[in-house]
Amino acid sequence: MKKRNLHLIFFIVIALVALFPEVANCQVKRALLVGISNYSSNRVTQWTDIHGANDVELLASTLKSQRFKITKVTNQQATAKRIRKELVSLVKSCRAGDVVYIHFSGHGQPFEDQNKDEADGWDEAIIPYDAQKVYSKGKYEGANHILDDELSRYFSQIRTKVGAKGFLCVVIDACHSGGASRGEEMEEDEEIFSRGTRDGFSSTRKPYRPPVNTNGHFVINSSGTQSGIVILEACRSYQSNYEIKQDGQYYGPLSYYINKTLRSNQLVKSLSWVQVVKRLMDGDRRLTKQNMVIETSLK
């Protein structure tokens, strides 16, 4: 009887491994989704309202269906302190082989380079709920802006933790050169919602003049012990990122088409699903003046 039970347990384990190979590899899928819509409820910051929280709700359902463990941070919750706390927590929780998805939908802003590591003199920053738009000496000097240098450190730590068998995907549905002109293919009754600003955050009032770089694919160096990484951005540095209206709701275009793609494709360590997103964005006539940017270590 005992021998028969052991055989039964053995076959059950084999079946589970076949059906759910990530169990054998202890792989966990983790997602941190940050989206801000109601910037204007914090009157000090001077940012306009957009619809970043819509992106989070859209993606959360799809990622849940792919068995991601999801953390959502939206609107007033999405302060600089909270976003940093969640990134630190994510780094600590990651294990070898994990798939990690980080998403930010909100405003972006150029930030005058402080450590001279940027050729054009500007860092890029994502804008939490409590980051002010204008530099004010002694009052607000940029502490709540989250710069690309800081984000890169979190990304590097995650890639090291999840290792060569893991994967990190980062999506930034913002921009750093926002405008307010109407797209040629937009309906007349559609409002214009642009993410980001052309006004750089600068203690010297330095004007922001983005370089015109038409390259849409950048290579990220990788060591043999780090995971593969894909970073997707909604547009090039000199372009504006305009929200699109679908079924009566406004979304970031990159978020919308990522969600549409992931409804029929798994989020895996591959550029195949990324290329589907790119084709969908390229095919949307409302987006003829913005181009998705891919930064990746994958080939």
Residue 186 above 60 pLDDT?
no
pLDDT of residue 114: 79
For residue 82, what pLDDT band results from cuts at 50, 70 and 90? very high
pLDDT > 70 in the chain, percent: 87
pLDDT of residue 119: 67
Q: What is the mean pLDDT of residues 266-285?
A: 98
Residue 288 above 80 pLDDT?
yes
User: Which residue has better confidence, 20 or 121?
Assistant: 121
pLDDT of residue 116: 74
pLDDT of residue 197: 93
For residue 24, what pLDDT band results from cuts at 50, 70 and 90? very low
Query: What are the structure tokens assigned to 205, written together?
Result: 């009032």
pLDDT > 90 in the chain, percent: 78
User: Which residue has better confidence, 226 or 4?
Assistant: 226
pLDDT tens profile 138-170: 999 999 999 999 999 999 999 999 999 999 999
Residue 22 above 50 pLDDT?
no
- The mean pLDDT value of the chain amounts to 90
Residue 20 above 90 pLDDT?
no
The pTM score is 0.89
pLDDT of residue 4: 55
User: Which residue has better confidence, 82 or 6?
Assistant: 82
